[in-house]
Amino acid sequence: MSYSEQLFQFRYMIEQVLDGTLPDEDIQRFNELIINDARLREYYCEYINITIGIERQCINLPVSIHAGGGQAGTIFRDLLKLEREAPAVETYDEIEVEEVVKSKNARKRQIPGKFFMIYNKLVSLAAVLMILFILYANVFPPKYSVPVGVVVDQMGLEWAKSSEVLKDDDVLFTNQAPYVISKGYLKLRYNEGVDVLIEGPASFEIDKSRLYLEYGKLYAHVSEIGKGFTVESSKTKFVDLGTEFGVLVDSTGSSELHVLKGEVQFYAGSKDNKNKTRKVYQDNAIRYDSDDSTIESIPINRNSFVRNCNSSSNFAWKGQHIDLADIIGGGNGFGTGKTNYGIDFYSGKVSYVESEAESFRVSGYVAASHPYIDGVFMPDGGDGSVEITSTGISFDRFPDTNGDCYVPVCNNREIKKGFGGNPELGYLIMNGEDVQKQISPRICLHSNAGITFDLDAIRSSLSGVEIERFTAVFGLIESSTEEPTDVDLFILVDGINVFSHKGYLSTDNPLDIKVELDSSDRFLTMTCLEGMQNFGDWAFLVNPILELKSAEY
């Protein structure tokens, strides 16, 4: 905020102090400004001196001037009337200076008449200037800047050369010049509980409970107390009714509205007369064409708008969910993992998993090197309770097994010949579908193996986003023998059994897994154990995802 704008705002606070209308919550800020800013302190003293000086001249200003907000013509007529009715200023001829001796050592001159004439003119000029100042304030009232929010984060941001620049934690003020972004993401938070994510290129202006978007993409998450937040462009206006919605405005004024949650009241038309209106409900979208002023319904695109960003983890969230198979393959959960990579049960590192090899057996809990994976283990209830987290949480209800495993837990999106069984025998089938041809994300969870994810570590990279639930489809490949394969499945949260199925057969229908997760839940564990038959127990978790949602206020 420039010094002149700060001065306008400070003067307004002085006026509130003088008439007793300054809110209690602003009194402390007013005192701090006077104490800490020498320029404002000097301005305050001058303002008070002028005010007191004019009051002592007993200038009775017309009512219309005092009232404020009157018409300019009325004020000018009052000024003319004041001039006509004002008493004439007495003038004096120049007189000779006469010395009067008061005492032997003191003399005094009479003050010339010219001095009185100049003094009267100065007082009259000061009064006129004050009246003109009041007139200007009525006809051209200053635009006061008030704080309305703060900058939360920015990622990959580039500002246009002509634009003012906002930095993290900067306070957002109204009545500033337009901000122009060339590229990147900027996250703002309004005091009313509204999060706004702007994606460049974009040009916008900040206002109270409102944002003017000349062009660009914007996503708004509005809390209950922020209802009524408005996004406006030159030809459209979007008034929220407690929602999550995205807005796209192009350089011609055409726009799109995508409502992901709640409702939005849409208006279209000229800047001062937006006479077309429509209420848009959840899971719906519309487009406004500025060329022919038409409004049409379009398919909603839930992943078109960046809803959140985190510069520390270089994460931009568009509503997509976290793929746990991708994490096992060394990725971040959004497609950066490698196929047929998994967690080595000896080192805990992410490494390539060979096709079916010799069986192996590892005792104890193995911490993983991946930040989102706590560790891996081989469950065997025959030895008692089994440690399932790095913090020492154990589970004592696993059945007894022979303790062997053939393949580490891995990202098995792509099954190759010789991997996951013997293709020549033709049993790479799950639920009647050839697994080798599927492209869905999947975790290979061959018995006897278990893996634990650290949900808190995942949350730390998802500022403003919450983990809502874990979902997956569980199944076994078709057995190579006439007798079906069977396994035991356990899904645990912080060591508590939340989903399990013992004696699951390869001929059974796939299991739909859905586990609700709370913000206090830290460890998600999944493990598969051999059943009565110790062969062909190749289990898969298809589409294993953590569903995300925007954080609530």
Rg (CA), the chain: 37
- Contact indicator for 495, 427 with CB cutoff of 8 Å: no
- Record the tokens describing residue 263, joined without a space: 């409702």
SS3 for 286?
Answer: strand
Predicted confidence at residue 338, as pLDDT, reads: 92
Query: How far is 421 from 17, CA to CA, in rounded Å?
Result: 83
SS3 for 303?
Answer: coil
Query: How far is 198 from 465, CA to CA, in rounded Å?
Result: 17
Query: How far is 166 from 147, CA to CA, in rounded Å?
Result: 14
Residuewise pLDDT in 10s, the chain (553 residues): 666 667 777 877 887 787 778 887 778 788 878 778 878 777 777 777 676 655 444 444 443 334 344 444 444 455 445 445 555 545 444 444 344 344 444 444 444 555 555 655 566 666 666 666 665 555 555 567 899 999 999 999 999 998 999 999 999 999 998 999 999 999 999 999 999 999 999 999 999 999 999 999 999 999 989 999 999 999 999 999 988 999 999 999 999 999 999 999 999 987 666 678 999 999 999 999 999 989 999 999 988 999 988 887 778 889 899 999 999 999 999 889 998 899 999 999 999 987 656 788 898 999 999 999 999 999 999 889 999 999 999 999 999 998 888 889 999 865 543 444 444 344 444 555 555 555 678 898 999 999 999 999 999 888 778 999 999 999 887 766 678 889 999 999 999 999 999 999 988 888 999 999 999 999 999 999 998 876 778 888 989 999 998 776 5
What does residue 185 show for φ and ψ, rounded to 5 degrees? -125, 140
- Contact indicator for 216, 231 with CB cutoff of 8 Å: no
489-490-491 Cα angle (round to 5): 130
- Total Cβ atoms within 10 A of residue 226: 20
22 contact partners, CB below 8 Å, separation of at least 6: 13, 16, 30
What are the start-end ranges of the H helices in 213-270?
none
- 431: part of which helix (H) or strand (E)? none
66-70-71 Cα angle (round to 5): 140
**pTM score, whole prediction:** 0.65
- Total Cβ atoms within 10 A of residue 303: 10
